[in-house]
């Protein structure tokens, strides 16, 4: 909890399911995952060491709770870690793995219902199977949100095949949390961990652009989308998109107003490391569009989220309260279920 008594909800925290990894590992090759496939030797060696160090944080709720208390986080919205999206797997295998991971999330939530809420995973490589699991997430697990990757094996979400998915997300009033996993065209990003530092926010930027220019946000104005890592680069540079809309027919094919107006329908987390940039997000899009996030427990995460928020200048008490946890509680409808 923040010093001023605000409820603190972390929208961006990951869990690993070892049993799913055991099934998937023999089927995996690096070319199936852009984050792994485009990581150079130095980054890959470091990643292996780092991952071995954080397995307890990813798998043991007791360790997670100690870390949450240290960080001042009251509630985590827990989701699968990006390497376990498993979109590359055969659909039936992916569906099995997803069910296992969602069941694990539910176990953690049920054991500590005052500290965790779940964001369900889906086998997005097969929309019909994804819709089946979505219904289970809602009706059996009672999760208020979902986590998806920024694309499905290189297919973007403005593809018509995903329209039934968005219809169901809106029908159930679910929060859609969007997390990148490297960058699908990452040949130039293999050194210096650029596949993460550049590729992650770039893939989020492409996701937002496709959702806007492809007409998804216009077709589903009630869609609740929160993009991790501050939404990538686009929330800080929307004017170029608006200029393209004004000048070019091909940028108006599926939308009827400037792209920035659709961007204003989305939300973004605070995972940008810089209080001034968080202030920019608030100034440009409103405090009601910014959610606290940590990317727990990875090394590219934020270990002092409450302190980071406290260093943002120019916010009033209501704005700080919304960012700390009020927005997440509203978007996840926590008051309806807790």
Q: pLDDT tens-digit profile of 247-290?
A: 999 999 999 999 999 999 999 999 999 999 999 999 999 999 99
**Best mean pLDDT range from 184-198, 229-243, 324-338:** 229-243
CB 38 within 8 A of CB 199: yes
Written in H, E and C, the secondary structure of the chain is CCCCCCCCEEEEEEECCHHHHHHHHHHCCHHHCHHHHCCCHHHHHHHHHHHHHHHHHHHCHHHHHHHHHHHCCCEEEEEECHHHCCCCCCHHHHHHHHHHHHHHHHHHHHHCCCCEEEEECCCCCCHHHHHHHHHHHHHHHCCCEEEEECCECCECCCCHHHHHHHHHHHHCCCEEEEECCCCCCCHHHCCCCHHHHCHHHHHHHHHHHHHHHCCHHHHCCCCEEEECHHHCCHHHCCHHHHHHHHHCHHHCCCCCCCHHHHHCCCEEECCCCCHHHHHHHHHHHCHHHEECCCCECCCCCCCCHHHHHHCCCCCCHHHHHHHHHHHHHHHCCHHHHC
Q: What does DSSP say about strands 9-15 and 267-269: parallel, antiparallel, or unpaired?
A: unpaired
Residues 75-91 pLDDT 10s: 999 999 999 999 999 99
pTM of the entire structure? 0.95
pLDDT tens-place string over residues 156-176: 999 999 999 999 999 999 999
Task: Tell me what pLDDT residue 35 has.
Answer: 64
| 4 within some domain | no
Residue 47 token pair: 């990643």
Task: Please give the Cα distance from 300 to 298 (Å, whole number).
Answer: 5
Within-domain flag for 54 = yes
The count of structural domains within the chain is 1
CATH number at residue 50: 3.20.20.140
Q: Return the pLDDT at 180.
A: 93
With respect to residue 1, please indicate whether it lies within any of the assigned structural domains: no
Asked whether residue 24 is assigned to any structural domain, the reply reads: yes
| Terminal alpha carbon distance of the chain | 17
Whether residue 249 is contained in a domain is answered as yes
Q: Is residue 21 part of a domain?
A: yes
Q: Which domain holds residue 85?
A: 9-337
Residue 36 has pLDDT above 90, yes or no: no
2 within domain boundaries:
no
């Amino acid at each position: 909890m923040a010093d001023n008594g605000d409820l603190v909800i972390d929208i961006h925290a990951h869990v690993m399911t070892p049993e799913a990894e055991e099934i998937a590992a023999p089927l995996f090759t690096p070319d199936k995952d852009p984050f792994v496939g485009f990581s150079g030797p130095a980054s890959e060696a470091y990643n292996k060491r780092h991952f071995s160090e954080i397995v307890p944080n990813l798998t043991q709720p007791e360790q997670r709770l100690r870390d949450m208390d240290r960080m001042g986080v009251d509630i985590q919205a827990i989701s699968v870690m990006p390497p376990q999206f498993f979109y590359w797997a055969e659909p039936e295998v992916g569906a099995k793995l997803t069910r296992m991971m969602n069941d694990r999330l539910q176990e953690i939530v049920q054991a500590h219902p005052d500290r965790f809420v779940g964001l369900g995973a889906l086998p997005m490589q097969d929309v019909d199977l994804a819709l089946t699991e979505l219904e289970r997430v809602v009706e059996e697990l009672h999760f208020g949100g979902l986590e998806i990757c920024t694309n499905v094996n290189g297919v973007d979400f403005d593809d018509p095949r995903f329209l039934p998915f968005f219809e169901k997300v809106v029908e159930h009033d679910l929060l859609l949390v969007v997390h990148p996993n490297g960058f699908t065209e990452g040949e130039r990003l293999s050194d210096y961990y650029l596949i993460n530092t550049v590729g992650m926010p770039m893939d989020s930027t492409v996701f937002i652009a496709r959702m806007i220019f492809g007409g998804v946000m216009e077709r589903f104005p009630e869609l609740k989308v929160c993009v991790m890592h501050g939404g990538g680069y686009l929330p800080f540079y929307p004017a170029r998109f608006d200029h393209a809309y004004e000048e070019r027919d091909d940028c108006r094919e599926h939308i009827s107003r400037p792209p920035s107006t659709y961007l204003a329908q989305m939300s973004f987390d605070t995972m940008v490391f810089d209080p001034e940039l968080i202030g920019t997000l608030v100034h440009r899009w409103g405090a009601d569009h910014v959610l606290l996030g940590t990317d727990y427990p990875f090394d590219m995460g934020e270990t002092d989220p409450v302190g980071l928020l406290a260093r943002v200048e120019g916010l009033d008490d209501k704005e700080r309260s919304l960012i700390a946890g009020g927005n997440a509680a509203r978007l996840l409808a926590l008051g309806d279920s807790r």
